[in-house]
A and B are shown apart, each in its own frame.
Chain A
Amino acid sequence: MLKIENLDMRFGGVVACNNFNGEIGNGQIVGLIGPNGAGKTTIFNVVTGVYKPTAGRILFSPNGSEQHQLTGLSPDRIAKLGVCRTFQNIRLFGELSVLENVFIGNHLRVKSDVFSTVLRLPHYVTEEKRLYEKSLYLLEKIGLQDTRDEKASSLPYGMQRRLEIARALATDPKLLLLDEPAAGMNPQETKELIQFIREIKQEFGLTIFLIEHHMDVIMEISEKIYVLDHGVLIAEGNPSEIQRNERVVEAYLGVG
């Protein structure tokens, strides 16, 4: 699904990511962990086209047969190819309603041109109706159907995180990048989130790449984990391997 090769990202003199290599297979859930400032979000930003990497390349093959080079593409092109994300510091369209937020996620798949939307030609009205139904379905999925008309920024924190996921799902992604989806959640909510991620993965045939600080989430859900420290990959493997890895323990305890 996704292959990252020799990825380098520098900002001026600061090395945010140094020679990172990674691969995510179809239908996998892969975790990315590391202490604060390790460069995790930078990798997400490079994959989704927010930053252009200093060196290296990223290959994306949504269905096995075709392969796209993501490096150098703009974020919207990448989203169209089927890579969507959530943000660590929640970036909802705050003044808009919950339903509108999800509805906007559909826009990139809209086939009608702008004039048929203004004239409300029958083919557009049909399309719009379908998209609203889909958006409502996604809201139901995350349990926010009752708040559909509320302003997104007025929602509690946990709901905002779920709304971001629903918005991303509306773009029909193949690969979903979740940046700390459990941040600020209590154990009960975290448990529900794990269940929810598994569910959507199943239902929408997703591959998931996630950053998380809650170790219990990562260890329970991931098939493979990459560990970053100061921009360098220090370990990779399945959860039990990572838990036993000395370098990982050191990095987290701040020794060495």
Chain B
Amino acid sequence: MGDVSIFLQHLTNGISLGSLYALIAIGYTMVYGILRLINFAHGDIFMLGVYLTFYGVIYTPLPWWLVFILAPLLTGFIGILLEKVAYKPLRGSARITILISAIGASFLLQNLGIVIFGGRPRAFPVPQLLNHVIKLGGVSINVVTFIIPAVSILLLIGLTYFTTKTKTGLAMRALSKDYETASLMGIDINRIISITFFMGSFLAAIGGILWGSRYPQLMPLMGAMPGLKSFIAAVVGGIGNITGAVIGGFILGLGEIMLVAFLPRLSGYRDAFAFVLLIIILLVKPSGLMGNKVTEKV
């Protein structure tokens, strides 16, 4: 019995971490789908989302739930701004060039974070509602562990509805399938790209809030590792593919938690797990689990 309950505890932890990776990974995958660009700064957008929430809750009289909605929206607009400043001027340039700009943007946000928010860690104000432990059988689990996957699933349903049923969503998919044709068909590319960045950043900020509720320590560099890992999740699932990003997120989250739980000797290597997985996937199936093979035109 004890073994089962411990396993269940790890499983819920894994699912919860996996949903967080999935939420961030979606932003990577959507942007990559359209622009073929690794938005290196995405992890730092996630960090901004957490800090905005932190300041909103602590320094404004607004109720926490309103801040939890407003901060992601604001983060979404920062995402749009990021694209306009760092990526749009380079549209059509060699990919290395854009990638360098993306890395620059990532460092800029991280260090702006240090300048504005200070380098010292802060404690995330977790609302009481999310932060109490319940006992289920022999397992004691923090409510937030359940809320994370629940919120993620709701957002995913919303996102799926958006990309399959709305006109904008369809345009987005058309653009990621065939950029040239779609741009000839009168789709307003700039608008779609802005919306993509908005949504990706919005989801990352929600992921950030949930992350903060789960691991309530804030640092300006906190986005780097989750960002990289979520990107890996997107690649594992097949970049450009939203379902793939979610699957990849869960594989990564569960894998990490289970590695630490069942091979404690290797727990120091936790951060290496994602990268090892990435390299294996790239070698075995570079297009990812759900991705399509793309053949180069000559």
* Chain A residues proximal to chain B, CB less than 8 Å: 11, 41, 45, 50-51, 87
Contacts and interface: CB of A to CB of B under 8 A. Distances in A.
Contacts of B295: 11, 51
A87 to B, nearest CB: 7
Nearest to A89: B298
Nearest to A48: B298
Contacts of A87: 298
Task: List the 6 closest pairs (A to B, CB-CB), nearest first.
Answer: A50-B298, A45-B298, A11-B295, A87-B298, A41-B298, A51-B295
Nearest to A42: B298
Contacts of A11: 295
Interface residues of B, number: 2
B1 to A, nearest CB: 52
Nearest to B293: A12
Contacts of A51: 295
A51 B298 CA distance: 10
A88 to B, nearest CB: 9
A97 B295 CA distance: 30
Interface in B259-298: 295, 298
A11 B298 CA distance: 14
A2 B295 CA distance: 26
A41 B298 CA distance: 9
A45 B298 CA distance: 8
B291 to A, nearest CB: 14
Contacts of B298: 41, 45, 50, 87
Contacts of A50: 298
6 contacts: A11-B295, A41-B298, A45-B298, A50-B298, A51-B295, A87-B298
Nearest to A87: B298
A45 B297 CA distance: 10
Nearest to A50: B298
A191 B298 CA distance: 28
A45 B296 CA distance: 11
A87 B298 CA distance: 8
B96 to A, nearest CB: 13
Contacts of A45: 298
Nearest to B296: A50
A50 B295 CA distance: 10
A72 to B, nearest CB: 16
B34 to A, nearest CB: 22
A40 B295 CA distance: 18
A222 B298 CA distance: 25
Nearest to B292: A12
A10 B298 CA distance: 15
A206 to B, nearest CB: 22
Nearest to A11: B295
A183 B298 CA distance: 17
Nearest to B295: A11
B180 to A, nearest CB: 14
A44 to B, nearest CB: 9
Interface in B40-61: none
A190 B57 CA distance: 75
A118 B298 CA distance: 34
Nearest to A88: B298
A93 to B, nearest CB: 14
Nearest to B297: A89
A87 B295 CA distance: 17
B154 to A, nearest CB: 35
A41 B297 CA distance: 11
Nearest to A41: B298
B280 to A, nearest CB: 24
A50 B298 CA distance: 8
A249 to B, nearest CB: 30
B293 to A, nearest CB: 9
A17 to B, nearest CB: 14
B134 to A, nearest CB: 51
A173 B298 CA distance: 21
A220 to B, nearest CB: 28
A208 B298 CA distance: 20
B95 to A, nearest CB: 16
Nearest to A44: B298
B94 to A, nearest CB: 11
B268 to A, nearest CB: 39
A85 to B, nearest CB: 10
A38 B174 CA distance: 27
Contacts of A41: 298
A200 B298 CA distance: 26
A51 B295 CA distance: 9
A11 B297 CA distance: 11
B209 to A, nearest CB: 42
Nearest to A45: B298
